[in-house]
Amino acid sequence: MEVINNDLNLIEEELKRFVETKAGVKGLVDSGLVKLPITFIQSPQFLSKYSSSSRNTVPVIDFNGSSFADKRKQIVDELSQASEAWGVFLLINHGVPADVIDDALQGVKMFHEQPPEVKNADGNFFTSAQLKLAPVPCWRDYLNYSCIDGYLNEEALPQICRHALSEYTKYVLQLKLTLSELLSEALGLCPDYIEKIECMSSGNFVANYYPACPEPDLALGISDHSDPFFMTILAQDNVGGLQVLYDDHWVDVPYMKGSLIVNLSDMMQIISNDKFKSVVHRAVSGDATRTSIACHFKPSSAKMETPYGPLQEIISDDNPPMYAHVSAHEYFRSVRMKEVKGGAPISKFKLQQA
């Protein structure tokens, strides 16, 4: 289905009215919608830019539970290979109980299925149309909360999912420490290196809700992008829908009970001097409601203005720096301002090689 509409003002007005309802995409579904509003229809060229492929599968890394210490070198090697080739991997036996993950996802679903006036009470409810990061808004609502410098204000969380998200957050922060050590070792550095430079000391949690879409082939849950900061840990329910770009093809990230997904982000690619890859990914729409929780790790509050660049310990004459230094604040501003037209934001900071 191809949509041609030259009246951009009409589309803008429709979008403005939608945002002003404060009911989100869920509100559209609850109104009995049977056709996708024109404001959410992606162009056929954008949707078909890359084809899907089932030839490749996302790497799975098994932390082996209590046997983790005995297999640490093997795990570091596997993580290094996945980070270099894919920039994403599935984790199993990682220490976060499956019921904690399930309860958090169910809590997110319960929050989003409340009346709009309840969801809006705490000021943490948003819909993707408010972001204006993409030309066409995505079919997604979300709850946003932060854990700055390792501190979570539990009272700021909606009561309906407060306990579930608090428990999940505690486990994810502990897993982040383990991953920081492993990523440091994969770069040939001491285990506490990444933790000491405070590049992942704070977390921004985004609890996503993708309502069933009346015409899923015309919309996206999240359009293709790479995450701006250092690392993302994601939980998704059994509906699935996450796809990553590998070898110019979209690859589905499968649901595995109790698993978590780790995406490496742009600034991790910068400090690793292109050793690790920041993965491009998206979420497709579907005919079933989907939930997920992403935690985007960024620097401590004291380090948001500190420039990060290729780590001094890994650059050499044979491995010269590929990027300029940039602070997380400046990098995120560049993403929000869309300073790189038609290209990846990271390219703005790439150095010209002699």
**Adjacent-strand bridge partners of 141:** 127, 209
Sign of CA dihedral 112, 133, 333, 21: negative
Rounded to 10 degrees, what is the CA torsion of 334, 339, 345, 348? -100
Identity at 96, one-letter amino acid code:
V
pLDDT tier at 6, thresholds 50, 70, 90: very low
Cα distance between residue 195 and residue 150, in whole Å = 12
pLDDT, tens digit, 9 for 90 and up, residues 14-30: 888 888 889 999 999 99
The DSSP string of 189-258 is S-TTHHHHTTTTSEEEEEEEEEPPPSSGGG-EEEEEE--SSSEEEEEE-TT--EEEEETTEEEE----TT
Do 296 and 204 meet the contact criterion of CB atoms below 8 Å apart? yes
Lowest average pLDDT, out of 11-25, 99-113, 138-152, 203-217, goes to 11-25
* 190 in Cβ contact with 184 (< 8 Å): yes
Order of strands, sheet of 249-252, starting from the edge strand that comes earlier in the sequence:
51-52, 249-252, 242-246, 281-284, 220-225
What residues does 308 pair with on adjacent strands?
A: 326
For residue 1, pLDDT over 50 is answered with no
Mean pLDDT, to the nearest integer, of 43-60?
Answer: 86
d(CA 23, CA 30): 9
Query: Which range (100-104, 119-123, 129-133, 300-304) has the least confidence?
Result: 129-133
- Kindly report the pTM of this predicted structure: 0.94
Q: For the residues 46-69, what does the mean pLDDT come to?
A: 84
- Which pair of structure tokens corresponds to residue 145? 């909360």
- Alpha-helical (H) ranges within the chain are 8-21, 24-30, 44-47, 72-85, 98-112, 116-119, 162-186, 193-196, 266-271, 328-336
The DSSP letter of residue 306 is S
- Quick one: tokens of 168? 């999940």
CA distance 261 to 347: 25
**8 Å CB contact between 238 and 225:** no
At 5, is the pLDDT very low, low, confident or very high (cuts 50, 70, 90)?
A: very low
Q: How many CA atoms lie within 13 A of 177 on its CB side?
A: 9
The candidate with the shortest Cα–Cα distance to 63, out of 96, 98, 94, 101, is 94
Specify the 3-state DSSP secondary structure of 186.
Answer: helix
The answer, yes or no, to whether residue 151 has pLDDT greater than 70, is yes
| Residue 4 scores a pLDDT above 50 | no
290-307 pLDDT, tens digit per residue, is: 999 999 999 999 999 999
Q: How confident is the model at residue 328 (pLDDT cuts 50, 70, 90)?
A: very high
Residue 160 φ then ψ, to 5°: -65, -25
Per-residue pLDDT, 3: 44
Query: What is the predicted pLDDT for the residue at 8?
Result: 66
